[in-house]
Amino acid sequence: MNKTYAIKTVPIPKFSKPADISEGKRLYQSRGCGDCHDVDGSGKTFIDDPAIGTLSGSNLTLGKGGVLSERSDEELAVAIRHGVGKNGKALIFMPSTDFQGMTNEDIGKLISYLRSTPAIEKPQGDIKPGPLGRFLYLIGEIPVFVSAEIINHDIVHLTNIKPSVSLEYGKYIASTCTGCHGFNLKGGPIQGAPPEWPQAQDISKNGLTNYTESNFIQTIRSGKRPDGSKMKYPMPWQSLGQLTDTELKALWMYLQTI
């Protein structure tokens, strides 16, 4: 957890048009950033367990206690996609494996949105991995504790990817799901989750046999499965419901190939 990483930065485009800022906000909402950084970006403690640890998302505003005034867009991109902070140390429990493939354009719109939000004064919450959290990381059960250790830091990021109902775009969207559903998307225990949380479901083709494209999209939008049952927390269907029809159709297409 104290290892340092030398990450080469790349230029990140800046955006100011209202449509681009709005898209950055949608990316923030639909990719679940608020689950750890709160809806207003001010950060919050999302796990507080004596065994797993106390884990808090950073304040992503320009207010006192926030990180935006101390980070360039390029440094923020490294944090988001590589899980590495300004000092070169790994960010603890930053799920960068979900975001490592984000394009420069999407990262730029996301950061431009964050810089447009109100400054909120809020100190950094505690980040203290507990004994069980450290042990589970050691045996490979919670790789997201130090996601920087399993990311390919030499990857060349795409400048942009055109939204389309395609396997390529579906795979791009599906990366957001790996933090809970696993890198193979076949579900199982959620990394670092309290014992009372349900396991993530298999969202490969075999796990979606009761779904069609239509009711898959409806389930994500409403939080209700085709049989009428409700999806349980921590499934972030409210966030994922912000995905566009194109994104959800592409995601469905990709999941059908797994």
SS3 of 56, please? strand
> Is residue 26 a contact partner of residue 118, using CB atoms and an 8 Å limit?
no
Q: How far apart are CA 37 and CA 121, in angstroms?
A: 14
b/e code 31-56 from CB counts within 10 Å (16+ = b): bbbbbbbbeebbbbebbeeeebbbbb
Domain 167-256 bears CATH identifier 1.10.3470: no
pLDDT at 191: 81
b/e code 192-206 from CB counts within 10 Å (16+ = b): bbeeeeeebbbbbee
> 167-256: same fold as 18-149?
yes
For 26, 55, 127, 198, 201, the CA distances from 47, given in Å and listed in that order, are: 25, 5, 10, 15, 21
Give φ, ψ of 4 to 5 degrees. -110, 155
Give φ, ψ of 151 to 5 degrees. -95, 140
Q: Where are the domains of the chain?
A: 18-149, 167-256
Q: What share of the chain is helix, strand, coil (3-state, %, to 5)?
A: 40, 10, 50
Question: Tens of pLDDT along the chain (258 residues)?
Answer: 889 999 999 999 999 999 999 999 999 999 999 999 999 999 999 999 999 999 999 999 999 999 999 999 999 999 999 999 988 999 999 999 999 999 999 999 999 999 999 999 999 999 999 999 999 999 988 888 999 999 999 999 999 999 999 999 999 999 999 989 998 999 998 887 777 788 999 999 999 999 999 999 999 999 999 999 999 888 989 999 999 999 999 999 999 999
> Is residue 145 a contact partner of residue 96, using CB atoms and an 8 Å limit?
no
* 133: its two tokens: 């959290």
> Is residue 151 a contact partner of residue 95, using CB atoms and an 8 Å limit?
no
* 29: its two tokens: 């909402």
pLDDT at 10: 95
User: 18-149: which CATH topology?
Assistant: Cytochrome Bc1 Complex; Chain D, domain 2 (1.10.760)
> Is residue 54 a contact partner of residue 126, using CB atoms and an 8 Å limit?
yes
**Residue tagged 């709005």 (tokens):** 22
Is the torsion defined by CA of 240, 46, 102, 136 positive or negative?
Answer: negative
Q: How far apart are CA 96 and CA 79, in angstroms?
A: 8
